[in-house]
């Protein structure tokens, strides 16, 4: 190989390595930052009760009245939830929402799919049973609404009736 080519090839390889390192560092530095094309979210949280008692293990879903991003959260033992739209706990995009609350009994306690002895459910296994009136699973019938706004506390209370 001529000396001129050898030097140029080395220089090209060095430049390629530098570019690759910059790409890796650039991707690493942007991890965790929201995408620039995402709408801004605001913290939003709340509490769900049933007959005045905390409702743990329920999924609370905010569905936008128009176009937009929905969000959801799962209640803890005290009935408290935090909404997530793009990342865990990031809140909700400002707007008006119809709210659904669902909770299901999936049968026996869940088992880690990676544990020894795990067997997938049988094909004829019954579907999960809803533990709440079906009305609350339908955004058009639940009667639950919310409005998220920037600069507000955005704390929502929902009491589910049997």
> Torsion over CA of 101, 107, 109 and 111, rounded to 10 degrees?
-100
| Cα–Cα dist 154/41, whole Å | 11
pLDDT of residue 110: 56
Q: Indicate the burial class of 160 (C-beta count within 10 angstroms; 0-12, 13-18, 19 or more).
A: buried
Contacts of 52 (CB under 8 A, 6+ apart): 159
| Cα–Cα dist 73/94, whole Å | 16
**N-to-C CA span, the chain:** 84
pLDDT of residue 102: 97
- Interstrand relation of 71-74 and 59-64 (parallel, antiparallel or unpaired): antiparallel
pLDDT of residue 9: 47
CATH of 45-107+126-160, one of 1.10.287, 2.60.40, 2.60.120, 2.40.160: 2.60.40
pLDDT of residue 44: 98
pTM (predicted TM-score): 0.70
Mean pLDDT per 10-residue section of the chain, whose length is 162 residues: 52 43 39 69 97 96 92 98 97 97 77 69 78 95 96 96 88
Rg of the chain over Cα atoms, rounded to whole angstroms, equals 25
What are the residue ranges spanned by the domains of the chain?
Answer: 1-31, 45-107+126-160
């Amino acid at each position: 190989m001529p000396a001129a080519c050898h030097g140029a090839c080395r220089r090209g390889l060095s430049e390629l390595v530098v570019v690759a390192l910059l790409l890796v560092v650039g991707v690493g530095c942007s991890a965790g930052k929201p995408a620039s094309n995402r709408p801004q979210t605001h913290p939003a949280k709340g509490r769900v009760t049933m007959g005045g008692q905390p409702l743990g293990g329920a999924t609370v879903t905010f569905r936008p009245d128009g176009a937009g991003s929905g969000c959801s959260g799962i209640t803890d033992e005290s009935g408290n939830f935090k909404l997530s739209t793009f990342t865990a706990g990031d809140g909700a995009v400002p707007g008006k929402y119809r709210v659904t609350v669902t909770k299901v009994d999936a049968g026996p306690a869940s088992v880690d799919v990676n544990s020894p002895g795990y067997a997938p459910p049988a094909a004829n296994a019954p579907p999960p049973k809803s533990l709440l009136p079906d009305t609350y699973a339908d955004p058009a019938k639940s009667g639950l609404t919310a409005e998220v706004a920037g600069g507000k506390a955005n704390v929502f209370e929902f009491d589910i009736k049997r």
